[in-house]
Amino acid sequence: MIETLSRRMAVRMKEIHPGHPISTEVLAFALGSIINIFGTIVVSLTLAAFLGQLQETALAMLAFAALRAISGGRHLKTSISCMLVTSIDANLIPMAAKYIPFSKYSIILMTMISMALTAVFATRKIERQTRIPKKYYPLLRVLSVLLIATNFIFLHSIIAISHFIQSVLLIRRGGESR
Query: 155's torsion region: left (phi>0), alpha (psi -120 to 50) or beta?
Result: left
For residue 170, is pLDDT > 70?
yes
Other residues' Cβ atoms within 10 Å of the Cβ of residue 13: 16
pLDDT at 127: 85
pLDDT in tens, 51-70: 999 999 999 999 999 999 99
For residue 173, is pLDDT > 80?
no
Q: Which helix (H) or strand (E) holds 174?
A: none
User: Within 13 A of 72's CA, how many CA atoms are on the CB side?
Assistant: 29
pLDDT in tens, 25-61: 999 999 999 999 999 999 999 999 999 999 999 999 9
pLDDT at 172: 86
For residue 177, is pLDDT > 70?
no
pLDDT in tens, 75-112: 899 999 999 999 999 999 999 999 999 999 999 999 99
What integer is the mean pLDDT of 116-139? 92
Size (the chain), residues? 178
pLDDT at 130: 86
The candidate with the shortest Cα–Cα distance to 158, out of 50, 54, 12, is 54
SS3 100: coil
Going by the DSSP 8-state scheme, the letter that residue 136 receives in this structure is G
d(CA 37, CA 125): 22
pTM, rounded to two decimals: 0.92
What integer is the mean pLDDT of 113-125? 96
Name every residue whose Cβ is closer than 8 Å to that of residue 104 and which is 6 or more positions away in sequence. Answer: 155
pLDDT in tens, 147-165: 999 999 999 999 999 999 9
CB 79 within 8 A of CB 35: yes
d(CA 100, CA 123): 31
pLDDT at 175: 52
